[in-house]
Amino acid sequence: WIAAAKQHIVAMAKKISDDVKKSAGMSCEVRVALVAYRDHGDSNRLVVTDFTAASTIEAALGREAASGGGDGPEDIAGAFNAALGLSWKAEGRYLVLVADAPCHGDKYHTPGGDTYPAGDPTGLNIEELLRKLKGDNIRLIFTRINNYTDIMMKIFHEVYDDKGDDPAFKIKEIDLGGNADLAFTSAISDAVLENAMMLM
């Protein structure tokens, strides 16, 4: 997915802007931020670039590569916490979580192989972070790469999703099915546009 994002993030931002203009007859500025996360004990565990032009994020992604990983789970709690600290301004707010491994805590995956089976070692509560994201009107889009994240996402849905009929606050899942090239761009653009139209 890193390669796909490097290639397509500028095009994705342009597609979102063009689609909003075409569908709603209004222009919009698309700002993009990046929270690249790894795991506790890895170098550069969290690399954060605040909201800026898509081309700047593309350059930041160009410096990133998958690395580390002493166990399966990753520091998604740290990534959510960092995302909450970004300079969110727009009414339409979207967090795209790309994950091929769950967060720490045995309840979020099949037990075993987790250095921190009780959860985040710094004391972050990922379910509370999900509630804060929702409270800040940040809509969550999850790109599913494999079934290792399925238990985690079932719990995330239970915590985050509205129980009523408001689809704006239900996690949107995109199953890349191993095809992370053009599917990445079109799926995320379509999910953002679908949600944006509900806000207008």
Which has more confidence, 194 or 131?
A: 131
Please tell me the predicted confidence (pLDDT) of residue 144.
Answer: 87
Which has more confidence, 106 or 58?
A: 106
CA contacts within 13 A on the Cβ side of 174:
25
Q: Cβ atoms within 10 A of the Cβ of 143, count? A: 23
Q: What's the pTM? A: 0.88
- The pair of structure tokens assigned to 183 is 């599917």
Which has more confidence, 39 or 28?
A: 39
Highest mean pLDDT among 26-30, 53-57, 60-64, 138-142: 138-142
Q: DSSP per residue over 104-139, as a string?
A: SSGGGSSSSS-S-TTS-TT---HHHHHHHHHHTTEE
| Rounded CA separation 123/182 (Å) | 38
